Amino acid sequence: MSQNSDLILERMMSLHPKIMDLTLDRMWRLLAALGNPERHLPPVIHIAGTNGKGSTQAMVRAGLEAAEKSVHAYTSPHLARFHERIVLAGQVISEPYLTEILAECEQANGDVTITYFEITTCAAILAFSRIAADYTLLEVGLGGRLDATNVIETPRLCVITPVSIDHTGYLGETIEEIAGEKAGILKRGVPCIVGPQSDAALAVIEAEAVKVGARLLVHGQDWHVWEENGRLVFQDESGLLDLPLPALIGAHQVQNAGAAIAALRVLGMDDAACEAAVLDAVWPARMQHLKAGPLVEAAGQAELWLDGGHNPAAGLAIAEALERLSDRPLFMICGMLNTKDIGGYLAPLTPLVDRIYTVSIKGEAATLSAKETAAAAKAAGMDAVIAKDVLWAVQQIESSNPNARILICGSLYLAGQVLQENS
């Protein structure tokens, strides 16, 4: 049975013919109609980047909450339910309040053209403006400069996580063009934590910072983070921290933790908050070890992992994490969208995988078919099998390799469906 919020969200999907249409004009119009709630938010931490935005935000949130700060958080896309996108003072928004806020935005907008992401972002901002909190974490949806979240005149802090090639149809074909879009969140007088970047991306970010008058704190210059003897070591002008490795798995999470710690130190948080950021962050579908549910039961003694990364940089990060878990034969179950660089994603994983099972993503118009994904996997040098669905693939792997490690991967949309089906 549909909830009231589901019905409103379905109507919102019909308000604009394009899935993405980057401009801020519609945001300004609706926010004005709502009384400009963007001017009445708790201090905003605005996070852009290609990879690691969600993990970095989760770590910042964990650190702030350990310091007894209340935190609003906005992320996208959701995995299982839309409600996940809006966290109010530490709690996922309730169905009644989500329905109320969406209805108010729908009424204020009328039948005027607006994208789904824009009107739902307005709903989040409206909710944040009405509930007391110490901080607001805003994750960019796409790009930065013209993203619907880029309506905050003076954030408390900005963060730009690593920039790589993705969404080229909207953000540009080169790393310089994409970095320019991400750097569009920079604001005069607002400090910005900059995660590890290529020289080309960093040059663009630094040039934009000079242009707008933003102060950068750059990885490798103003702060450093590395793994040493099974520990995370962070250093900046305030001194050195020796911390446990992140609870989120992978060397890339050390880099994300560094950005989160740098952000927390700018915000004046203590060492205990930084340690909590590393240890307490929870971020589903990022090398998540599934430990209960119907799919786990079907896997028997095999391990089941889930990751929603979907571009070449994510493929590299996942491969690095899997190389550390090399004690079992590895099988992949993969479904991807046709907007992604599947060859670039699969290339670093190819040497590690015994066999890949390919699936279509149910209900997604932009899905690659299982046949197309299998063809791409074979072109990358993988042994590929077309699967009718994830459960069938898990059962096939378990029957022939009961000690397998199974990674379900390739898309956040697929990850969301898996979490729903495995709940």
Structural domain spans, the chain: 4-280, 288-421
User: For residues 157 and 266, is the Cβ–Cβ distance under 8 A?
Assistant: yes
Segment holding 71, helix H or strand E: strand 71-74
Task: Report H helices in 13-115.
Answer: 25-33, 53-66, 95-109
pLDDT the model gives residue 250: 84
Task: Name residue 241's beta-bridge partners.
Answer: 234
User: For residues 315 and 344, is the Cβ–Cβ distance under 8 A?
Assistant: yes
How is residue 197 annotated by DSSP?
Answer: -
Confidence (pTM): 0.87
Cα–Cα distance for residue pair 81/361, rounded to 1 Å: 17
Residues 112-125 pLDDT 10s: 989 899 999 999 99
Cβ neighbours of 230 (radius 10 Å): 7
**Are both 4-280 and 288-421 of the same fold?**
no
Q: Which CATH architecture has domain 4-280?
A: 3-Layer(aba) Sandwich (3.40)
pLDDT the model gives residue 228: 96
Tokens of 289: 């070890």
User: For residues 409 and 306, is the Cβ–Cβ distance under 8 A?
Assistant: yes
pLDDT band for 159, please (50, 70, 90 cuts).
Answer: very high
Q: What is the mean pLDDT of residues 144-173?
A: 85
Residues 354-403 pLDDT 10s: 999 999 999 999 999 999 999 999 999 999 999 999 999 999 999 999 99
How is residue 245 annotated by DSSP?
Answer: P
Residue with tokens 């909830």: 3
Cα–Cα distance for residue pair 415/252, rounded to 1 Å: 20
Cβ neighbours of 96 (radius 10 Å): 11
Residues 292-349 pLDDT 10s: 999 999 999 999 999 998 889 889 989 988 988 878 999 999 999 998 999 999 999 9
Indicate whether 39 pLDDT > 90.
Answer: yes
Task: Report H helices in 92-148.
Answer: 95-109, 116-130
Q: Which CATH architecture has domain 288-421?
A: Alpha-Beta Complex (3.90)
Name residues whose C-beta falls within 8 Å of residue 341's C-beta, 6 or more positions apart in sequence.
165, 311, 312
Low-confidence winner among 75-84, 128-137, 353-362 (lowest mean pLDDT):
75-84
**How much of the chain exceeds pLDDT 70, in percent?**
96
